[in-house]
Structure 1
Amino acid sequence: MDDPKAIVVGISGCSSSGKTTLARILRDIFPNTMILHEDDFYKAETELPTRHGFLDWDCAEAISVPDMEAALDHIRATGTFPASLDSKEDQNSVGKCPVSDAKIDAMKAKVAAWVQPGQPGHALFVERKLRLCLFDGFLMYSAETAGAMKRMDIKLFLLVSREKATQRREARDGYVTLEGFWKDPPGYVEKIVWPNYAKEHAWLFENGDVEGVPDEEVLEKAGISVQTGLGLDVDMETTLEWAVDLIVRELEKKVQAPL
C-alpha cells in the first residue's frame, strides 16, 4: 500500500501473557491509537472444533481469518474500523493495572516530547495524520495467519511460562461471546490452551521449546521482536518500556523511508 492511513502493531503471545493489558496501556500513551482484537473474529460456537471433549476456542479454526485480513486491509486503507466490527473483547472484565502511575506518566511524557514539532513523531502523527492500530491476539504468528502477518508493520511477541499462563487464565472470570458467556471448564488450559500455543509457536524457539530460548535468526527473518536476556514472565513495567521504545524506534524508520 503506497499511502496507508494506519500503522499496524501486532502484539501476540500465549493466552494470558499480557497482550491486551499492554495494548490498553499503549493506547493511552500514543496519540491517534486504536485497538483491534483477534478475539473479535471468533466464529460462532456451532462452527468451533471439538478436542478432548472441549470446544476449542484456542486454535486457528476458531477464527475467521479472511474477515480478520479484510479488517486489517480496511484499517490500513482508511485509518478506521470496519462499520461491521462489534468488539466483544472490550466487554470483558479488566483487572487491576500492573503498571504504576509513575511509569505510565513517564512513558506518556516521553511520547509527548517525541510528537512535538521538529520531532519524528510529529511528522507521523500530526503532519501525516497517521493512526496506530494495536492488534492483539493469541494466534497471529503461525502458518494459518501468514496473511495477517504480512499486514502488520511491527510485530511484538510476549513470552510467558506455562505456570504463569495457567495461573492467570484460570483466575479469569470468563469471556463474552457471540452467544453469551464462556468460562473455561476444568482441564481446559492443560488440554487445549497450552498444547495449542506450544504447537503453533514452536517454530519461534530453539529446539521447539516454547519455554526455552527464542530463535533469534528465525525471529529476525520474520520481523518479530521479543524481550531477550530477561527470561520468561517479565514484569509489565519492563515490558511496557520495551514496547514503547521499540514502537518509537520502528516508527522513526518510517519517517526516513516511504511507507
Structure 2
Amino acid sequence: MEDRKAFIVGISGASSSGKTTLARLLRDVFPNTFVLHEDDFYRAETELPYKDGLLDWDCAQAINIPDMKRALEHIRAHGTFPSEAVWPFVDSKEDQNSIGECPVPNAAIIAARAKVSQWLQPGHPGHSILTTSNLRICLLDGFLLYSPDLEAGGIPSLLDAKLFLLVSKERATQRRERRDGYVTLEGFWADPPGYVEKVVWPNYAEAHRGLFRDGDVEGTLDGEVLRGKGILAQTDRGLDVDMESTFNWAVDTLMRELEKAFGKEGGRVNA
C-alpha cells in the first residue's frame, strides 16, 4: 500500500477555457491545496519553435516535459513543491498573470465552501481523507496535459483525477484577445496579430482531436475514449458552459474522486 502525500488533479483544456480560474477557485475551497502551472515549465524563449513565422508558446515542444514529470513525482511522494534552490517554478510566473474579475458569484463560492466544510466534518467522508490525514491536493492546470506528447512523457499517469474543460473557438479567441499579455522568464509576452488563429487554436485542435468524435474539437467528446483515459468532462452541457456551473461540477467531482481513491472512510488504496 502506498502512503501517498498528494492527490494530483489535472485541469486541462484550450487556452482561455478557464483552467487557471477554476484551479484558483478550488484551491480556495478545499483545504491543504496548492496550484502547479504547466506554464511554469516553459523552456527559454530562445529554445521555442516557430509556426507560420510566429514564436510558438502553445505546443508541447515549448514545455520541459521531463522537468514537469520529476516535479510531479516529487509532489506525489512528499506533498510539497521541490526545493526552490533546484526548481525555479516555485516562484511562479503564471501567478503574476492576471485572470481578470472572478466570473463566479461570491454567493456560489460561499455555498461551495459550506458544502466542502460539511464534507470534512466527523462522520463524513472528507474527514478521514483530508482533515485527519497529511494528504494534500495539488491542482495542475495546463493546456496540453492529455495531449499525445505529454502522454508519451508520462504526465497523465501521474494524475489522480483528470478534468477537461470545453470552449468554443469563438469564446476562447475573445477571452485570449482581452488579455494584455503574459509574464515570462525573459520579461513579458503579448500575442502578435493573428496568433490565436495561426498558432493557438490549430495546436489545440491537433493535440486534442483524438478526444472528439470525428476529430472535431468543437463537436462531441468521444465517451469511450474519455473512459479509457480516465478523463472527466461536462459532456452534456455543450461547449461554453458558464464558470459557475463548471465550478460547482468540479467541486462535486473532486469530492467524488477523492472518495473513490481513498474509500468513503478514507482508507488508503494502491496508486
Tell me which interval the TM-score lies in, with the shorter structure as reference length. Answer: over 0.9
1:163 aligns with 2:167: no
1:258 aligns with 2:265: no
* Cα deviations by residue, 1:34-89 (Å, 9 ceiling, x for unpaired): 00000000000000001111000000000000000001001111110112233100
- Once the two structures are TM-superposed, the CA of residue 254 in structure 1 deviates from its matched residue by 2.2
Q: CA RMSD in A?
A: 1.0
1:128 aligns with 2:133: yes
In structure 2, the residue corresponding to 1:157 is in which secondary structure?
A: strand
What amino acid maps onto 2:208 in structure 1? H
What amino acid maps onto 2:101 in structure 1? K
**Which residue is equivalent to 1:37?**
37
Confirm or deny: 8 A CA contact 1:6 1:130 kept in the other structure: yes
Give the alignment of 1:55-70 within 5 angstroms.
Answer: 55-70=55-70
Confirm or deny: 8 A CA contact 1:38 1:68 kept in the other structure: yes
- Once the two structures are TM-superposed, the CA of residue 128 in structure 1 deviates from its matched residue by 2.1
Between the aligned partners of 2:12 and 2:183, the Cα distance in structure 1 is 20
Most deviating of 161-170 and 81-90: 81-90
**Which residue is equivalent to 1:154?**
161
- Once the two structures are TM-superposed, the CA of residue 92 in structure 1 deviates from its matched residue by 0.7
**Which residue is equivalent to 1:180?**
187
Between the aligned partners of 1:214 and 1:254, the Cα distance in structure 2 is 25
Segments of structure 2 that go 5 or more residues without pairing to the other structure are none
Between the aligned partners of 1:255 and 1:42, the Cα distance in structure 2 is 33
How many residue pairs get matched?
259
- Once the two structures are TM-superposed, the CA of residue 187 in structure 1 deviates from its matched residue by 0.3
**Which residue is equivalent to 1:216?**
223
* Cα deviations by residue, 1:156-182 (Å, 9 ceiling, x for unpaired): 000000000000001101000000000
**Which residue is equivalent to 1:91?**
96
**Which residue is equivalent to 1:138?**
143
In structure 1, the residue corresponding to 2:198 is in which secondary structure?
A: helix
Segments of structure 1 that go 5 or more residues without pairing to the other structure are none
Between the aligned partners of 2:99 and 2:181, the Cα distance in structure 1 is 11
Between the aligned partners of 1:106 and 1:76, the Cα distance in structure 2 is 30
- Once the two structures are TM-superposed, the CA of residue 235 in structure 1 deviates from its matched residue by 0.1
Between the aligned partners of 2:250 and 2:106, the Cα distance in structure 1 is 17
**Which residue is equivalent to 1:241?**
248
Confirm or deny: 8 A CA contact 1:11 1:136 kept in the other structure: yes
What amino acid maps onto 1:249 in structure 2? R
Between the aligned partners of 2:262 and 2:137, the Cα distance in structure 1 is 14
Percent identity over the alignment is: 66
Most deviating of 91-100 and 210-219: 91-100
Detail structure 1 runs of 4+ shifted over 3 Å in the superposition: none
- Once the two structures are TM-superposed, the CA of residue 117 in structure 1 deviates from its matched residue by 1.3
TM-score after normalising by structure 1: 0.98
TM-score after normalising by structure 2: 0.94
Between the aligned partners of 1:48 and 1:231, the Cα distance in structure 2 is 34
Confirm or deny: 8 A CA contact 1:123 1:255 kept in the other structure: no
Give the alignment of 1:2-81 within 5 angstroms.
Answer: 2-81=2-81
Between the aligned partners of 2:219 and 2:184, the Cα distance in structure 1 is 33
- Once the two structures are TM-superposed, the CA of residue 118 in structure 1 deviates from its matched residue by 1.8
